[in-house]
Each structure stands twice: as C-alpha cells, then as structure tokens.
Structure 1
Amino acid sequence: MKANRKIEIMDTTLRDGEQTSGVSFLPSEKLQIAKLLLEELKVDRIEVASARVSEGELDGVQKITQWAAQKDYLDRVEVLGFVDTPVSVDWILEAGAKVMNLLTKGSLNHLTHQLKKTPEQHFKAIQESIAYAQEKGVDVNVYLEDWSNGMRNSFEYTMSLIAFLTTQPVKRIMLPDTLGLLSPDEVSQFFDVIVARFPNIHFDFHAHNDYDLSVANVMEALLHGASGVHTTVNGLGERAGNAPLESVVAIIKDFTDLEISVQEQKIFRVSKLVEQFSGQHIPANKPVVGENVFTQTAGIHADGDNKKNLYFNDLMPERFGRQRKYALGKTSGKANILKNLEELGISLEKEELAKVTQRIIELGDKKERVTTEDLPYIISDVLQNNSISKNISIEGYHMTHSKGLKPTVQLRMRIHGKFYDESATGDGQYDSFMRALKKIYKTMGRELPKLTDYHVSIPPGGKTDAFVETVITWDYGKIFKTKGLDPDQTVSAMMATEKMLNIIETIKYNPEKEESTYYGNQYRTVAG
C-alpha cells in the first residue's frame, strides 16, 4: 500500500440508499441531499439514480444536473445504467447527466441464469453500450454485479471480464459485494489478486452489510489497493444496508495513512437531514451519528474524564460537529452530575448535591435516562422538598382509565402517622384523585385550598419519555404554588398536591412562616 494515496468516496445514498424498504426521496429532497454531499461534506462523487425508472426519477436527476452544471460538478454526478443500448444512455442524456455507471454481470451464475447469455455475447453487448456512450459524450464506469460470488465460484469468468474491461475506454471498474457475503480475509485476498494483475486500473469497492462486516471489508479493500469506496449516509440500503459514510470516514482517518476530502465535521448535520427525509430513524447506539455514542452514563467514566480524560478515544465528538454528554440516571455518580451542573452554570452545596444525586437515581429507576435539560427541574423539585416539612404523604394509589368508563382512583394517605383509605371516580385521573383526597379531609373536618391554576411543561426538546413538571397555584387565603416532577403527568400533579398538603399544615400550625419566601424554587407564599 502506498502511503498518502488519495481515495475517492462515491456516495450512493440517492441511488442504492433509496432502495431501503419504505424510502423514496422527493425530487426536491434529492437536490438538497446532493448539494450537501458535494458542497458541505465534499464527497468526490455521488450516484443519484437508476436510468429509466420513472418520470419522478427523471425529474429528480434533472434538478440535480441543472444545479451541478452551474457549479461545474457534472463529472461528479453519476447514474446507474444498463446494457440496453441505446435506452439507458438516451435516458441519462435526457436527464442532463454525463457519467454512466454501467451494470454488468460479475458472476457466471448471474450471466447464465438471469441474462441467459454466453460471456462472448455479454462482452459484445457491453462494448456496444460503452461505444454508444462515448459517441454521445457520456463517460463510463462499470459495475460487476455479484462480483463477490464471481470471485468465489467463477473466478476465470470474472477475471476475464475485468481483463476485457481494461481494454475499453472505462474510467473505473467497480467491484460490489452485492449480497454482503464476503469476509475481510476474502476481500483482502481478492484485491491482492486483482491489483497485482491490473496494477494501473482504478478499482472501487462497494460493500453491503448483511454480516455487519461492511466497514471492516471497506478497510481491507483500501489497505489492499482499492482506489475508491462506495458509501451511503447512515448506512441506508436494501436488506442490512450499505457501508455507512460516517464510519468509513472515521476508520480511514484513524487507521490508515490514506487521504480523503470528506469534511467530517459536517457529517452529523447531513446525517440528521437524511434521517428526516428518509424516515429511517438512526439507532441511538450507531457509531458516530447515534444519539448515545458520545454520552457517558456510568459515574466512574465521568470521574475518569475529570482525571486526565481517561475514558476518551480518538473518536472525539467535536470532529463530527457534536458534543460529549454525561447522562444522568441510576448509574450516575456525583462526577456525572457535576459535569452537567458545570455546563448549566449551577453550583450546589454538598448536602444539596447528595439529595439531587439520590433523586436522580430514584427517577432513573422510572426512566431510562435523565437528560441535562431535566436537571433544572429536578434541582428545583429537590430544593422545594427541602423547604417543606413532610408530615403528610401519599402512601399508595391505584388508578384505572378505561374507554367508556369514568376514571377511578383508590388512594392511601398517611397524615401525621395515621393511614386513611378512600376511592372516587371523576372526569379524569387527577380529578378522581382530588375527589378521593377531599373525602379523606372531609372525615377529618378539614377543607382543601382552591386550585386556581394548573400548568404542565416538559424540558425544552423533551421527547415522549421526558419528565413532566406540573405547577399548581392554590388559594388558601394566601396564594402559593407547588410543583411536582415525574415521567407521568398525573403522578407529577399528585406530587405537587402532596407538597400543598404539607404547606397548608405549615401555614396553619406555624404562622410565623407565612411571610417566608423560599428562593430557588417555585413555592412562595404571597399576600392574598
């Protein structure tokens, strides 16, 4: 392998990636992706469509080629064509493209059983297609479909096809592992043989991921003489997908001396756009672009990062336009929490930090991960709890909510050490809870404050598993607010109500606290 060889990256998100089940890009979406691939990421080439597919496909390619012509990128925009002179070439010309990737049969099995032709007949038809394309001013690269099976099972035929193509005016010979069946050892062996026999030919490698080996196979192909590789953003592609652009770029930069032009700091932005356009969700643990891949969860890792970045590797998130995060949950330690507090500019006393840590662990048992956006809500909730004596608590509840039936709540309360049980139905789960609570307080000869406002919010950017903060305003001769925090909206409101019950005990039995203001949380008694 020559050091510092320049490797071409050909991205086929818009052609092979679109063969993902359920994916169909609009012409305008194809244009936006093409612009980002060539101008932002700076891949060397893009494959944008298959010839003669549909009118919509033609419209999409025309939009791209019109833009590419203005930018002088036409030689970097490629279209898959077939051995069907003159149909594919004419379609490509109508689309405004100038490069055809001609699909030939790279295995004797495909040639015999699909085309039902002899090698001589196929070679002649290929020669006619290339000649016609040249006559019309279209450059040609050639795919050897099912090349991997050809090398395994019809070696002489496959090598004779490559030898024939080296005599033709072809710019690149492209070798696909069509079914994703090769091992890294086979890739290295096959490229050693081919490159040794044809040392001056540009060979591309096109990997599929059926055995989850696409990235490893790309690396072997490059280390053994491939001049270019094919990728898709987020690994889109039929079956298990193609070699993902983001991972291929990372392994080339970190494990080889090869040069590429791709701007890796733009990868995440393009990845998210393709996710939106394709409707294919990126797995949270997908290397480079997954939501969780730069997130430390264990407290010991955050502690190690504080002590000379002990848990860092070369895949630094800043390379890809991202940031490292320290997740909060049941495995969090103080180091994780301190990292997040530092990011928010918040400082807590030692005792407060211990209580926040414990609260995060408790909440983490209910929810997979607590985010940085959740943290201010949790801190406020903990600080408010610190300011309230807890003589009254919700000890148990059972809620039902069925279609066509009113919600029902069974409730157990502990009030100054004594237990009370009651049940009620209402117009909603929280209404049922309040009705049961009022029954309990009525037996005690007590009245509850009037609920005057009820506000629900989630952290900015929160998803369906976000914590819910409920802030309730009460009138008890004085106006005051309480808040609750829980992944469940009804439980969050119940937590706010529990705080209210303890506050009215304070107002009733400790009147000297009536004028107190509890800074750092949502509870303040206000003159009525």
Structure 2
Amino acid sequence: MASKRIEIMDTTLRDGEQTSGVSFSASEKLTIAKLLLEELKVDRIEIASARVSEGEFQAVKNITKWAKENQYLDRVEVLTFVDKGVSINWMIEAGATVQNLLTKGSLNHLTYQLKKTADQHFKEISEAIALAYSKGIKTNVYLEDWSNGMRNSKDYVFEFLEFLKTQNVERIMLPDTLGILTPSESYEFIKEIKNTYPDLHFDFHAHNDYDLSVSNVMSALTAGADGLHLTVNGMGERAGNAPMASTIAVINDFMPDIEIGVNEKVLFTVSKLVENFSGIMIPANKPVIGANVFTQTAGIHADGDNKKNLYFSDLMPERFGRTRKYALGKASGKANIQKNLQELGLQLNDDDLKKVTQRIIELGDKKEVVTKEDLPYIISDVLDSYSYEEHTKVNSYVLTHAKGLKPSTTVSITIDGETYEEGASGDGQFDAFMKALHKIYNKRAKSLPDLIDYAVRIPPGSHSDALCETIITWKNGKNEFKTRGLDSDQTVSAIKATEKMLNIITS
C-alpha cells in the first residue's frame, strides 16, 4: 500500500498557550515559531487568536513578517471568529493570510450558546468565508464540539459538512473539544465522514482529558484523517492536547503507511525551550522527552544492556537527540556503575568496584539520585577510606543551630574500644564538633592536628541536594595531609573527613 502523507499542524502558540498560567511574549512566540517551521519541520503552525490583545497582535505581526521573508506565510494560521469581518480586518493588519474559522460543530452549542438555527449559522459562515476569499485569505473551518456533535446530533454535523462542501474551504477541522472520545469512537466517526466525503481534507484535533489523545490520534489516522493538530509537551487547556513527541514516535514506529515530515532529532530541544518559556515543567516520566525515560535504574537492566542490548527497544534516545543514562542509587548494580565509569573514561578493578557499588547503595538509601558527576568524588572517598585501618569511630552526634544561640554539639566516639562523650559550643556546628573532640583528646593527653585549609565542592551543574565533597588539610607538626568526606550534608561530609583524620593519627 502506498504511504499517505499527513499534515502536522502545531498549535502550541494558540491552543497550547491556553494552558493555565501561560503567556508567551512576542519574542518567545517568534523564537518558537522559527524552531517549529525551520528545525522541527511541522507543516503548519497556529499562532494566535484574533482580537485577543495588542500584545498578541504584535506577536502575530512579528511572525508573519519573518514568515513572509522566508516563504512560510501560507503555513502560518490564526484562529478567527464569525464576527462580520472584525477578525478578517485584524488578520489583514497583522499580515496573516490563513484563517482557522471557529464555528459550532454540535447542535447543543449552536442552540444554547449562539441561540441560532443551522441556516442562520451557515449563512454567516458563508459570508465570512466569502469576505476572506475576497481579501486573499484562505479559510480552514473548526467544528467546535464536533465529538459531542457526532455523539448527539449527527444529522446536524452531516448537514454542516454538506454545506461546507459547497464553500471555498481548504480544510475542515474536527476537534474533540472536551477530550471525551474513545479510540473506537474516533475511528468510527472519522471513517464515516471520510467514506462520505473522500475528497475533502479533514484534520483531527485531540484533547487529553482521559489520557487517550495519542490512542485517539492512531485511530483517527487509521480511519483516514488527513492532518493532526498537536502541541509541544501536550500543552493546552485542562489536561492539554495530543502531545507532539509521543504522537510522532508512535506514528513513525507503528504506522508504516503514514508519512510525516517532522524531524525527530529536535523534538527534545524544542520541548525544553517551550518548557523554559512556559514555566510548565515536563514530568520526569513523560514519554520521549521526560528526564527519566531513557534512564535505566535497576542493575539487571544495565547488565542486560551490556549483554546484547536486552532492554533496548525501537524507542532509542539517539533518535530524539538524547542519550541513555544509567541511574546510580540503591537499586544500582555493578553494571550501572560500569556504564557511568565508561562515560567518564574511568576504570576500577573488581575489588574497588565492589567497594564503590556498596557506597553508592548506602548513599542511595539517603539520597534518591546519585549522579554520574558524583562518581569521581565517591571513588576518591571510598578508596581513601580503605587506605587506613579503622581505630576510631564517630558513633553519634547531635548538632544544634538556633537563631540567637551559639551552635552546639554533643559527640560520642570510640577510640581503640573505649567510648567517650563530650559537648561543646562554637562559632559554627563544625567548630562546636571540633571543640568537643579537643576535650576528648585532652583527656587522653593527645593533641589534634591543626586545620589549615577547608574546601567544599559539589559536582558541576548540581543542585541543592548534591553530594558535597569536603577536603580538609591538616598539619601535624611539620607534616601536612588531606582527608576527604562525602555526604549530601556539608557539615556531615566535614565530620566524615575529620573521622578519617582521627584514624590516621591513631594508626
């Protein structure tokens, strides 16, 4: 069977902007429009609703100016209304040449919202289309609430389509406005329409209220839909619209008879840009574009990837400009760690790898995610820990810090089998900890090395929950040495570095 070319219309800048709390600036709209047409290579973009605001007018003007200069103007569309030419005049001033005319696709909407008969509505639509044509503007028509129209007033929908067949219309747009359709209904309704009007172009516009939008899109395409309306990151009112990334992946992998022109490689880039501009964060488990969707967490999965890619599917991250990651945490196995070491260009022998694996599992119990960038610090900490025999153990400590009071601590440590407990206050929690230690070691008639340098660092690009590596330089007489501590809490990492120092001076 010959493949069928499907048009992809992106409506992120119009329907997607109806996401609660989202408003793109004119410059953001222009940036997104350029990316959608030049990089993502969608067929058409719907960029605004006519008459909304002065800011919207300026945004449309900027986009149409750029589009005209780059031969994209006929692919830029604006939502308009049956309003006796007000929308058309707005479009002309803004430089747009394709209107998406909003009409009523259900008898319920027509009767109770417009309070008009079908003939009255069709007459006004005909006048709007004729006026647009006389001004050089092409018309596509939205049948708002079409899905409810097919369920509850099918005769009206087909009467409407009979009328539209006689009009100068490029495309008829069939929206599931409230996201109520099931996949079987999507197929049945569009199949019936395409069988009746095989020569007309029909777009399907899905919403995601029941999380069925991608399934409904598949059914609509199987039934013969000619175009789809999608949004980046599935943005849109309520639960949003059919998401661009998932839909494109599904079409490419499961619908070999459908041909589309979208460039998969930049889906992730566009998604991240829209995330930044909109302020609506992409869920970590969002298919194709989520932070976690190409991350293996279980060690058995990483091991399987090492053995003939047992956990790979056609949904490869490289298709979308991404890479596979192997999470480090309490579920990690050696295979996860080896994968991350390979990316860092590091190698460990089996014994050291076991030690590092155990430490990562321990850290994972306290910290949900250990990053690849944490690994060098963990390795350094672990190998340093095994370079001496443990004579001294910090059993427990209580650190207090309250506004208006000096920080204080109570410490319990065991030295060569004997346990000591002391408390002290200081200029900071760590200072209080060190003063308590001095009290303990004074009892043993032993002095502690001087702390001459204290450095804290976190992996580049990390956040507030990052692992901290504290490196302390000590001076014991004429000798200087360093110890390292690693923890997600800065004070605790310093205490761990100090514990290592205590073992070194005791050994």
- TM (norm. structure 2) is 0.97
Cα distance in 2 for residues equivalent to 1:209 and 1:433:
56
* Pair 1:496-2:497 in alignment: yes
- Quote how far apart the aligned CAs of 1:481 are: 1.6
The aligned runs of 1:152-167 (5 Å cut-off) are 152-167=151-166
The answer for the alignment partner of 1:8 in structure 2 is 7
The aligned runs of 1:288-367 (5 Å cut-off) are 288-367=288-367
Cα distance in 1 for residues equivalent to 2:276 and 2:312:
30
SS at match of 1:292: coil
The answer for the alignment partner of 1:486 in structure 2 is 487
Cα distance in 2 for residues equivalent to 1:24 and 1:375:
40
The answer for the alignment partner of 1:241 in structure 2 is 240
1:481-528 residue CA offsets vs partner (Å, 9 max, x unmatched) = 21111111111111111111112224xxxxxxxxxxxxxxxxxxxxxx
- Quote how far apart the aligned CAs of 1:389 are: 2.0
Instruction: Report runs of 4+ in structure 1 exceeding 6 Å deviation.
Output: none
The answer for the alignment partner of 1:281 in structure 2 is 281
- Quote how far apart the aligned CAs of 1:63 are: 1.0
- Quote how far apart the aligned CAs of 1:65 are: 0.8
- Quote how far apart the aligned CAs of 1:61 are: 0.9
* Pair 1:411-2:421 in alignment: no
Cα distance in 2 for residues equivalent to 1:245 and 1:135:
35
After superposition, the Cα gap between the structure-2 partners of 1:68 and 1:424, relative to the gap in structure 1 and judged at 3 Å, is same
User: Once structures 1 and 2 are overlaid, which stretch shifts more, 469-478 or 34-43?
Assistant: 469-478
* Pair 1:456-2:486 in alignment: no
The aligned runs of 1:13-52 (5 Å cut-off) are 13-52=12-51
1:56-86 residue CA offsets vs partner (Å, 9 max, x unmatched) = 1111111111110110000011111111121
Letter in 2 for 1:489: Q
The answer for the alignment partner of 2:393 in structure 1 is 393
Percent of counterpart pairs with the same letter? Answer: 67
Cα distance in 2 for residues equivalent to 1:128 and 1:423:
88
Letter in 1 for 2:36: L
Cα distance in 1 for residues equivalent to 2:389 and 2:44:
67
Cα distance in 2 for residues equivalent to 1:103 and 1:380:
64
SS at match of 1:94: helix
SS at match of 1:328: coil
* Pair 1:438-2:407 in alignment: no
The answer for the alignment partner of 1:526 in structure 2 is none
The answer for the alignment partner of 1:109 in structure 2 is 108
Letter in 1 for 2:493: S
Letter in 2 for 1:503: I
Letter in 1 for 2:495: M
Letter in 1 for 2:147: S
- Quote how far apart the aligned CAs of 1:429 are: 2.4
User: Once structures 1 and 2 are overlaid, which stretch shifts more, 27-36 or 477-486?
Assistant: 477-486
The answer for the alignment partner of 2:231 in structure 1 is 232
Letter in 2 for 1:479: E
1:9-38 residue CA offsets vs partner (Å, 9 max, x unmatched) = 100111111111111111111111111100
User: Once structures 1 and 2 are overlaid, which stretch shifts more, 125-134 or 394-403?
Assistant: 394-403
User: Once structures 1 and 2 are overlaid, which stretch shifts more, 316-325 or 362-371?
Assistant: 362-371
Cα distance in 2 for residues equivalent to 1:422 and 1:56:
67
User: Once structures 1 and 2 are overlaid, which stretch shifts more, 282-291 or 427-436?
Assistant: 427-436
1:324-382 residue CA offsets vs partner (Å, 9 max, x unmatched) = 11111111111111111112121111111110111111011011121211111111111
Cα distance in 2 for residues equivalent to 1:386 and 1:145:
70
Letter in 1 for 2:442: K
Cα distance in 2 for residues equivalent to 1:410 and 1:154:
77
Letter in 2 for 1:119: A
Cα distance in 2 for residues equivalent to 1:402 and 1:3:
74
- Quote how far apart the aligned CAs of 1:409 are: 2.3
The aligned runs of 1:203-222 (5 Å cut-off) are 203-222=202-221
Letter in 1 for 2:170: K
Letter in 1 for 2:198: P
Letter in 2 for 1:441: Y
- Quote how far apart the aligned CAs of 1:449 are: 2.1
Letter in 1 for 2:394: I
SS at match of 2:504: helix
User: Once structures 1 and 2 are overlaid, which stretch shifts more, 123-132 or 435-444?
Assistant: 435-444
Letter in 1 for 2:412: R
After superposition, the Cα gap between the structure-2 partners of 1:402 and 1:221, relative to the gap in structure 1 and judged at 3 Å, is farther
After superposition, the Cα gap between the structure-2 partners of 1:3 and 1:465, relative to the gap in structure 1 and judged at 3 Å, is farther
1:36-55 residue CA offsets vs partner (Å, 9 max, x unmatched) = 10000100001111111111
* Pair 1:128-2:141 in alignment: no
- Specify every segment of 5 or more residues in structure 2 that has no aligned partner in the other structure, as ranges: none
After superposition, the Cα gap between the structure-2 partners of 1:278 and 1:500, relative to the gap in structure 1 and judged at 3 Å, is same
After superposition, the Cα gap between the structure-2 partners of 1:357 and 1:97, relative to the gap in structure 1 and judged at 3 Å, is same
* Pair 1:421-2:421 in alignment: yes
After superposition, the Cα gap between the structure-2 partners of 1:189 and 1:405, relative to the gap in structure 1 and judged at 3 Å, is farther
Letter in 1 for 2:259: E
Q: Provide the alpha-carbon RMSD of the alignment.
A: 1.3
- Quote how far apart the aligned CAs of 1:388 are: 2.2
Cα distance in 1 for residues equivalent to 2:179 and 2:409:
56
Cα distance in 1 for residues equivalent to 2:81 and 2:87:
6
The answer for the alignment partner of 1:175 in structure 2 is 174
SS at match of 2:124: helix
Cα distance in 1 for residues equivalent to 2:48 and 2:403:
49
- TM (norm. structure 1) is 0.93
Cα distance in 2 for residues equivalent to 1:37 and 1:230:
13
After superposition, the Cα gap between the structure-2 partners of 1:163 and 1:439, relative to the gap in structure 1 and judged at 3 Å, is farther
Cα distance in 2 for residues equivalent to 1:404 and 1:92:
64
The aligned runs of 1:256-275 (5 Å cut-off) are 256-257=255-256, 258-275=258-275
SS at match of 1:253: helix
SS at match of 1:399: strand
After superposition, the Cα gap between the structure-2 partners of 1:159 and 1:435, relative to the gap in structure 1 and judged at 3 Å, is farther
Cα distance in 1 for residues equivalent to 2:235 and 2:433:
49
The aligned runs of 1:246-257 (5 Å cut-off) are 246-257=245-256
- Specify every segment of 5 or more residues in structure 1 that has no aligned partner in the other structure, as ranges: 507-528
Cα distance in 2 for residues equivalent to 1:175 and 1:29:
28
The aligned runs of 1:487-526 (5 Å cut-off) are 487-506=488-507
SS at match of 2:78: strand
**Count of aligned positions:** 505
User: Once structures 1 and 2 are overlaid, which stretch shifts more, 206-215 or 419-428?
Assistant: 419-428
Cα distance in 2 for residues equivalent to 1:405 and 1:121:
79
